[in-house]
Chain A
Amino acid sequence: MKISRRNIVVLGVSAFSASLLPFNLLAQSDGQSAEDIIKEFTGGANIGSGDIMLTTPEIAENGNTVPISVESKKATAIKILALGNPGPDVVTFKFGPLSATRSASTRIRLRKTQDVLAIAKLEDGSFIQDIKKVKVTIGGCGG
């Protein structure tokens, strides 16, 4: 029996491996590179660090739906990028003056082990970022 890459997920040691699943996010991002997306968001301004907290699991339980949340008290907008996805642009949250909290959470799909980047645009027009590595693994041998 010859198995395909996809079948190995079913047959082998693996629970799951997103890196082996064929999907393509290019269509969602018009093929833009992370660099271009960031430049478009910041207008080329420097990105510092500060009051921004991106929360992700260290290891994804399911790469197809990875829960993330982000918080930055003075943000007017926060952009999330999945740097290892074919289309890295995930979402931009916008906060108005009446937003109760400047935080948001969602679930994202991650193709493989990669960094997730959150960039906040603050009320004073400056930018800060937080970055977290999320591992996507075959798993199956813990214990």
Chain B
Amino acid sequence: MISRRHFLQASIASSFIFNSMGINNSAKVMAQQQISENNLLDFKSFGNITIMHITDIHGQLKPLYFREPDINLGVGNVLGKPPHITGKEFLRYFNIPIKSADAYSLSSEGFSNLAKTYGKMGGLDRIATVVKSIRSEKPNALLLDGGDTWQGSYTALKTNGMDMVKAFNLLGVNAMTSHWEFTLGIERVMELVENHLNFPFLGANIFDTEWDERAFEPYTFTEQNGKKIAIIGQAFPYMPIANPSWMFPGLSFGIREKNIQNIVNEVKSKNADLVVLLSHNGFDVDRQLASRTQGIDIIFCGHTHDALPTPIIENKTLLIASGSNGKFLSRIDLNVDKGIKDFKFKLIPIFSDVISSDKEMDNLIKEERKPFLSILKEEIGETESVLYRRGNFNGTWDDLICNAIIDERGADIALSPGFRWGPSLIPGSKITVEDIYNATAMSYPKVYLTEMTGNMLKIILEDVADNLFNPDPYYQQGGDMVRVGGMGYKIDINKSQGNRISEMTMLKTGDRIEPEKNYKVGGWASVNESTEGPPVWDLVEKYIRRKKIIQIEKNNSVKVITG
């Protein structure tokens, strides 16, 4: 394991004078200004405003492994730009030495081996230590949560998000926005927001469908050192499309660019010194939004789970991507006087072997887990392969889930949605009940079995591919490609919808998929209310119990054309 000293040297900090910067290609320069800090908690205090950001924690209270994607393709204007670079290319771009702590936390490069060296990351008790330390110096420092907080673990599922609400109240969050929160159902969301949450639940882009009136607070004001900060919340725009709309009937979302501009103008007319968008749009949507609006000083990005060691600047707006699952906390100190004069930024990696545990938060976590502990810890099997989810086309967790669906339900073809949440397991790990739920826990888990024609399968693949690879980010939904078991295909990401997918093939026989022929298709997470079948975690548990040792072969079933 790494020493405290190594850890401190590993963390990247960047600072520069805002006005002297070019708008373009700033990121690389910033990363090269890597400095060693004497102490993680000794971020040289700076300016008159401090803001912390965490996002996409997905119910994870405890430290974990999380492998970043090795493929995350960008199309159109974002081709080859962060976050659409991975592995060695990512390390080169940000000037990060291979095998370093930063290489481990920020890329997939050497993940399984480095995991043994650097250990788990995250844990809300560790995050609490960092937050308290920053606030001991900057008592009014803001802490913003980008959402996807109340879903993703066994305990979040069983407590209907209450464990996370309690933990985030204790953490002292100042405002949040949302996405998966709504999959708890609108009644539960309202109950938590109105009766339990100690801070605003912001959603400037959430309206009721009948009267087109605001359904949630759009923004909140706060002050630091006499400077007025407007925090505007932007929930996931494609909520009723990507997730089951029957769980939150009567709500409409959307990007609503004009609405955001109007609100920015409104808060400026109320003398905001700093305008912050707390967003769950996804990085590319935020970048485009920044390029097409005026007056947003900072966008704290979420949804697409990207972790970037430096802010990206677009049209004078700082874009900050703080990763997911508690791996990082972003800190930005700003000197604000009628706009940002300069700033200092650090993506603080939460190495759980190095950062001490906060007693108070640790107690809360223990208390929340206690009723479920014996279930959580039960070992079902073991994995010889690294199990991870992130990547555009497949990940070993979804390979495992697809194999389980094919075996347990007798399907020809299995579909698993391109979610981006779900921690990783390193080779040699026991697979516990908790691990299975970490990859599957959500409120519409039923595994359906149905028949689809080859034509229908193609329509589905084309539809999802366009949600990922449409060159205009406003038409993307921010998930990855639906994972397919039992069938291979070729995808040309730069073609238009209807023309990307070809060579659909049954892997078992090598036969081409026939357009008019029916295939038995199993899958989970259907957004339709009347879906029938066993919950996916039961099915996966049964499969792992039977196999005992999990070994995932390299998946070459998707041929990707990028040129």
Could you tell me which A residues sit within 8 Å of B by CB distance? Answer: 1-3, 5, 8-15, 17, 55, 57-62, 67, 113, 133, 135, 137-143
- Quote the shortest CB–CB distance from B391 to chain A (angstroms): 14
Per the bound structure, the CA–CA distance linking A57 and B240 in Å amounts to 13
Q: Say yes or no: A143 contacts B254, CB within 8 Å.
A: no
Q: Say yes or no: A62 contacts B467, CB within 8 Å.
A: no
CB of B59 closer than 8 Å to a CB of A: no
Q: Say yes or no: B477 contacts A61, CB within 8 Å.
A: no
Q: List 13 A-B contacts (CB under 8 A).
A: A10-B528, A13-B417, A13-B464, A13-B526, A57-B254, A61-B240, A61-B254, A137-B477, A139-B242, A141-B419, A141-B464, A143-B243, A143-B421
> What 1/0 flags go to B423-464 for Cβ under 8 Å of A?
000000000000000000000000010111000100110011
A113, closest chain B residue (CB): B497
Q: Say yes or no: A2 contacts B478, CB within 8 Å.
A: no
Could you tell me which B residues sit within 8 Å of A by CB distance? Answer: 179-180, 212, 236-238, 240-245, 252-255, 258, 303, 415, 417-421, 448, 450-452, 456, 459-460, 463-464, 466-467, 470, 472, 474-475, 477-480, 482, 497, 518, 521, 523, 525-528, 530-531
Most buried by A among B242, B245, B419: B242
What is the interface of chain A mostly: helix, strand, loop, or mixed? Answer: loop
Residues of A within 8 A of B303 (CB): 143
Residues of A within 8 A of B526 (CB): 11-14, 140
Given contacts A61-B240, A135-B475, contact A141 B482 (CB under 8 A): yes
* Partner of B477 from A3, A17, A62, A141 at Cβ < 8 Å: A141
Residues of B within 8 A of A10 (CB): 528, 530
* Partner of A142 from B255, B470, B477, B497 at Cβ < 8 Å: B477
- Quote the shortest CB–CB distance from B437 to chain A (angstroms): 16
Number of A-B contacts (CB under 8 A): 130
Q: Say yes or no: B253 contacts A143, CB within 8 Å.
A: no
Per the bound structure, the CA–CA distance linking A11 and B255 in Å amounts to 29
Residues of A within 8 A of B245 (CB): 15, 61-62
Q: Say yes or no: A61 contacts B253, CB within 8 Å.
A: yes
Q: Say yes or no: A137 contacts B527, CB within 8 Å.
A: no
Q: Say yes or no: B240 contacts A141, CB within 8 Å.
A: no
The 10 closest A-B pairs by CB, nearest first: A142-B242, A139-B241, A142-B477, A15-B527, A58-B474, A142-B479, A61-B240, A141-B417, A138-B463, A140-B527
Per the bound structure, the CA–CA distance linking A5 and B296 in Å amounts to 45
Q: Say yes or no: B451 contacts A2, CB within 8 Å.
A: yes
Residues of B within 8 A of A9 (CB): 528
* Partner of B417 from A1, A59, A60, A143 at Cβ < 8 Å: A143
Q: Say yes or no: B459 contacts A138, CB within 8 Å.
A: yes
Q: Say yes or no: B475 contacts A141, CB within 8 Å.
A: no
Residues of B within 8 A of A60 (CB): 241
Q: Say yes or no: B417 contacts A140, CB within 8 Å.
A: yes
Q: Say yes or no: A143 contacts B482, CB within 8 Å.
A: no
Residues of B within 8 A of A139 (CB): 238, 241-242, 463, 467, 477, 527
Residues of B within 8 A of A11 (CB): 448, 450, 526, 528, 531
Per the bound structure, the CA–CA distance linking A2 and B252 in Å amounts to 34
- Quote the shortest CB–CB distance from B496 to chain A (angstroms): 11
- Quote the shortest CB–CB distance from B521 to chain A (angstroms): 8
* Partner of A58 from B254, B456, B463, B518 at Cβ < 8 Å: B254
Per the bound structure, the CA–CA distance linking A50 and B189 in Å amounts to 43
Q: Say yes or no: B527 contacts A58, CB within 8 Å.
A: no
A107, closest chain B residue (CB): B209
- Quote the shortest CB–CB distance from B219 to chain A (angstroms): 21
* Partner of B456 from A1, A12, A15, A137 at Cβ < 8 Å: A12
Q: Say yes or no: A15 contacts B241, CB within 8 Å.
A: yes
Q: Say yes or no: A3 contacts B452, CB within 8 Å.
A: yes
Residues of A within 8 A of B456 (CB): 5, 8, 12
- Quote the shortest CB–CB distance from A62 to chain B (angstroms): 7
* Partner of A3 from B421, B450, B480 at Cβ < 8 Å: B450
Per the bound structure, the CA–CA distance linking A67 and B212 in Å amounts to 9
Q: Say yes or no: B418 contacts A141, CB within 8 Å.
A: yes
Residues of B within 8 A of A17 (CB): 463
Residues of A within 8 A of B527 (CB): 13-15, 139-140
Most buried by B among A3, A13, A62, A142: A142
* Partner of A15 from B180, B244, B452 at Cβ < 8 Å: B244
